[in-house]
Amino acid sequence: MSINWFKYSSPASFYSLAGKITPIFAFAAVILLVAGLYIGFFVAPTDFQQGEAYRIIFIHVPAAWMSMFLYVVMAFWAGIGLAFNTRLSSMFATAIAPTGAMFTFIALWTGALWGKPMWGTWWVWDARLTSELILLFLYIGFMSLQAAIDDPRRADKAGAIIALVGVVNIPIIYFSVQWWNTLHQGASVSVNQAPSMATTMLVGMLVMVFASWMYSIAVILKRTRVIILERESHTAWVAELQKKGTVQ
Amino acid sequence: MKPRHKKLVIIASAVTALGVASILVLNAFQSNLVFFFSPSQVVAKEAPIGKSFRIGGLVAEGSVQRDDRSTTVRFAVTDTAQTIPVVYTGILPDLFKEGKGVVAQGKISANGIFEADEVLAKHDENYMPPEAAEALEQAAKAQKASLVQ
């Protein structure tokens, strides 16, 4: 059995596929979010040094991970669009940017709220915080550049270049706490060592990470559909949809 | 090579070149990206002595002396090899504790005391319930005791 995956690189067939699967991800996001917050606030124990304040970790870490991960995905699809001139890849990259920017903002904001009571400051210019702030500027730069160029194909290309250039910032954010001494502590969860968190805390955090994934997929698919409609509004299949009144 | 493959190769090499360039730049700026200096670096005169800078390390055990009538606190920052005395007037963060991480900004005075105008707590990446922390502490004490014997 073979599925012709390339079929879905056509905006028209992707549009209908995305429409079908978006509710599944949205539903999973809600369930996981409720479960994750419940574990985070009611099941996970108090921390030995930070007391109850550490619970912001259940928002902060998933948001920070997503901010980096979504950037890599965005740059990947923008790069594919640039190299192969595939329209859908570029639309997908455009659809990812606002969600990535939102998670970056949440990571910075919750970090500030956490930093004040624990470290004693809202903000310091250490390598981790500064590189995460640069990530926010990269997202904003990507979005505003694309918005500033009227021709969507040219906007895609210009955006792709910003996105690809900005990729160097991702390893800098991730490894900043190892490469330089920073006020931000090292990673509690990483690939090459056992997590330095109590199990319930870790479970709650990972559930929240999956919730963020599901949310991102749902929102990005939805946004991609809107972009497809906008850009393909001159085509016969969109006209057909409008006639049927099924454009949601 | 098809034109689109050529394009991909060009993009990939441009990103790689950019990566290498940033590694070189970051390496060149290495010393400026340091958020704080350790007491050993201060003793070795690697820190910008005379200017304001940050020192980081652990608050030395038994070093914290609070003034009864003001918010002035004296403590020492150590990296276990070297120790620098610090004086600070102001409110300390909640996590400020002997044996825990601290980052202080200020200047070294003529008598070798670090006069801080900002003290931040640096906590580690461990998260656990208090009971677990206590059990770990007990185990560490027991191990120390058995080493002494």
Rg, C-alpha atoms of chain B: 23
Contacts of A179 in chain B (CB under 8 A): 26, 33
Choose from B40, B95, B127, B134 for mutation: most chain A CBs within 10 A.
B127
Distance, in angstroms, between B33 CA and closest chain A CA?
A: 7
Integer CA distances (angstroms), B3 to A125, B10, B135, in order: 44, 10, 64
Integer CA distances (angstroms), B35 to A45, A204, B67, in order: 32, 32, 29
pLDDT at A247 over 70: no
User: Angle at which helices B3-28 and A152-166 pack, to 10 degrees?
Assistant: 40
Quick one: which of A68, A132, A59 has its CA closest to A99? A68
Q: Any idea which of A1-10, A79-88, A97-106, A139-148 has the lowest mean pLDDT?
A: A1-10
Distance, in angstroms, between B112 CA and closest chain A CA?
A: 23
Q: What is the pTM of this model?
A: 0.88
Which residue's structure tokens are 């956490």? Answer: A114
Which residue's structure tokens are 């329209």? Answer: A87
Which residue's structure tokens are 């805390």? Answer: A201
Interchain CB distance below 8 Å, A119 and B95: yes
* Cross-strand pairs, B72: B89
Cα A175 to its chain centre, rounded Å, is: 19
CA angle A213, A74, B19 (to 5 degrees): 120
Q: What does the block give as tokens for A119? A: 């470290």
Distance, in angstroms, between A238 CA and closest chain B CA?
A: 29
B17 touches chain A (CB under 8 A): no
Residue, of A139 and B24, whose pLDDT is higher: A139
Please say whether the beta carbons of A120 and B120 come within 8 A.
yes
In chain A, the residue whose alpha carbon lies closest to the alpha carbon of B22 is A168
Chain A, residues 123-142, CB within 8 A of chain B, namely: 124-127
B93 touches chain A (CB under 8 A): yes
Q: How far apart are CA A55 and CA A51, in angstroms?
A: 9
Report, as an integer, the average pLDDT of A23-36: 97
pLDDT at A78 over 80: yes
Q: How far apart are CA A58 and CA B140, in angstroms?
A: 30
Integer CA distances (angstroms), B134 to A41, A56, B59, B137, B139, in order: 22, 23, 20, 5, 9
- A131-140: per-residue pLDDT in tens? 999 999 999 9
A33 touches chain B (CB under 8 A): no
> How large is the ipTM?
0.78
B90 touches chain A (CB under 8 A): no
From A46, A117, A185, residue closest to B129, measured CB to CB: A46
Cα A205 to its chain centre, rounded Å, is: 16
Q: A11: pLDDT confidence band, cut at 50, 70 and 90?
A: confident
Q: A228: pLDDT confidence band, cut at 50, 70 and 90?
A: very high
Please say whether the beta carbons of A95 and A227 come within 8 A.
yes
Contacts of B128 in chain A (CB under 8 A): 45, 47-48, 197-198, 201
- B113-132: per-residue pLDDT in tens? 999 999 999 988 888 888 88
B128 touches chain A (CB under 8 A): yes
- B87 three-class SS: strand
* Torsion angles phi and psi, residue A156, rounded to 5: -60, -45
pLDDT, averaged across chain A: 91
Interchain CB distance below 8 Å, B127 and A117: no
